[in-house]
Amino acid sequence: MGLCDVDAGWMPTHCAGKPLAGSLPHVKRGANSRWDRQDMSDTDSFIDEVNDEVRRDRFYYMLKRYGWIAILAVVLLVGGAAWNELQKSQARAEAEALGDAMFAALAVQDSESRVAALEAIEPGSAQSGALLGFLTAAQQVQAEDIPGAIETLNTIGLNSDVPSIYREIAQFKAVTLQGTDTPVNERRLLLDALAQPGNSLRLLATEQLALIDIEENNATAAIDRYQMILLDAEVTTDLQQRALQVIVALGGEPDMGSAAPAALPDVSDAVGAESN
């Protein structure tokens, strides 16, 4: 044998007649031994444990750093829901108290006392104040306090915190209450503003303008306005009936265009009423 001896598995065992210290066990190259599989299994287990520890450490790190955000979100969500319910409960209680006060005021016998009772109620919001004002104005009319009713309605109409539909209704009712005591030019100016396209009461305002035309003996202008009402797509059945009757009473010929009235009025009665 030469300087170094090798065994049948091609592993050195002796060199210069001396055994090699720490020589590897006698294992053939390419063989799958039980010890190799055990070492690989232990290595995989160790790696898995390390990965688990790393993930756990990262989880606790993220929890310590950002956990307060999740807690704050939960607190805000619960607090917001509780505040919303509280607001709804308060609004419902205020509405019930306002309704009870209104019913109690309307239960009073005479109109003047009802007006005083309604004026003593404190509304909780601008919208509640508008509703209360409409009731007060109606009772003032019953008490024959027309100037007071007009003032109450004008207060609603000038309040920018009130929804626009309430302001338009208040302005319209105030104009109709003024009657002939107010100059025609002032009434026409107010009604022209309400008759503009887009206003909810434009057709009713147009009808009032036609009545002013009749008041000034301008039948042609009145018929033209009523004709505009007839051809409007948003005209109601009652307003359509009134427009037809007035046009016929003024000697005009209604032009329905492509539309037809739900029920034609008795034009003979209208003419007879006008002649009387």
Per-residue pLDDT for 161 more than 60? Answer: yes
Domain ranges of the chain: 35-107, 111-275
Can you give the pLDDT at residue 257? 65
The torsion angle over the Cα atoms of residues 14, 17, 22 and 27, rounded to 10 degrees, is 20
H or E segment to which residue 108 belongs = none
Sheet containing 4-6, strands listed edge to edge, beginning at the edge strand earlier in sequence: 4-6, 12-15, 18-19
Greater confidence, 106 or 35? 106
Across the chain, mean pLDDT equals 79
Instruction: Give CA–CA dist 117/111, Å, rounded.
Output: 10
Report the top-level CATH class of 111-275.
mainly alpha
The pLDDT of residue 246 is above 90: yes
The reported pLDDT for the residue numbered 39 is 58
pLDDT at position 22 is 47
Distance CA 155, CA 144 (A): 19
| Beta-ladder partners of 12 | 6
